[in-house]
């Protein structure tokens, strides 16, 4: 790639918005949440489904002439109680099984991505020529069928200010990759975040400090307000 990326405003730096680490649940450790170094782990885990079946009821008595006894009460699962025998008048039905237990709820982690970078199409990258133009960056979070894409043009966030943030995959070491829309097959940056139940992620483009001035992604699970409330102005 011949073009160089620049900050939208000359000399501007990312504001000190102090992306604080969300401590939802029990965190394994407290650390900075930049992709590549691993985001802070909120520690929430999705509940597991209840699988205990109900116990079957006892059968009725088999003594001649005695009616069968009532079947035992079903347990908490979805298995129905057994029926009593019908010989010699024993016709009482077994107790009905109880309702099955509800499984644990799947957790939710949400994110917003903001972009403050322009691109200089000048192949010579002459510093005296300011011909930078807006660029569109694509942030991919996750892999496979669970992958989420957030696309933001210079000066905007995705989802846009005021819109609800996007649900992202849960788990430790969730992959994060950044692309430029005009070259969607070229990875500009790769990293990871630890995405936990209840996390509110704010991710944003910045520039590396090396000579190539390639984009990187900074991030944090914020706690001062919700992801939905964060705007572009809050980030830069």
In this prediction, residue 168 carries a pLDDT of 98
For residue 5, give the nearest of 186, 206, 203, 221 by alpha carbon.
206
pTM: 0.61
In this prediction, residue 200 carries a pLDDT of 98
For residue 199, give the nearest of 173, 226, 161 by alpha carbon.
226
Q: How far apart are CA 93 and CA 25, in angstroms?
A: 47
Q: What is the average pLDDT across 206-214?
A: 80
Q: Could you state, in order of their start, the residue ranges of all structural domains in the chain?
A: 4-10+21-43+108-235
On average, the pLDDT of the chain sits at: 70
In this prediction, residue 130 carries a pLDDT of 73
Residue 123: which pLDDT band, with cuts at 50, 70 and 90? low
In this prediction, residue 18 carries a pLDDT of 37
pLDDT digits (tens, 9 = 90+) for 79-107: 344 444 444 444 444 444 444 434 334 68
CB contact at 8 A, 204 and 233: no
pLDDT digits (tens, 9 = 90+) for 158-186: 999 999 999 999 999 999 999 999 999 99
């Amino acid at each position: 790639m011949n073009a160089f990326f620049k900050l939208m405003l000359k000399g501007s730096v990312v504001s000190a918005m102090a992306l604080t680490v969300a401590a939802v649940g029990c965190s394994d450790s407290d650390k900075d949440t930049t992709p590549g170094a691993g985001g802070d782990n909120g520690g929430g885990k999705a509940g597991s489904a209840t699988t205990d079946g109900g116990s079957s009821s006892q059968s009725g008595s088999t003594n001649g002439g005695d009616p069968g006894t009532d079947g035992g009460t079903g347990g908490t699962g979805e298995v129905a109680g057994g029926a009593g025998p019908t010989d010699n008048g024993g016709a009482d039905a077994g107790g009905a099984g109880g309702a099955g237990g509800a499984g644990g709820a799947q957790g939710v982690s949400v994110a917003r991505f903001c972009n403050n970078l322009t691109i200089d199409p000048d192949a010579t990258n002459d510093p005296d020529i300011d011909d930078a133009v807006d660029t569109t960056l694509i942030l991919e979070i996750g892999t496979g069928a669970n992958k989420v894409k957030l696309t933001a043009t210079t000066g905007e966030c995705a989802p846009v200010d005021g819109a609800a943030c996007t649900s992202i995959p849960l788990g430790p070491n969730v992959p994060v990759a950044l692309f430029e829309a005009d070259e969607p097959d070229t990875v500009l940056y790769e990293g990871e975040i630890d995405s936990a139940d209840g996390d509110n992620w704010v991710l944003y483009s910045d520039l590396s400090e090396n000579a190539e001035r390639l984009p990187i992604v900074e991030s944090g699970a914020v706690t001062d307000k919700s992801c939905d409330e964060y705007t572009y102005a809050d980030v830069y």
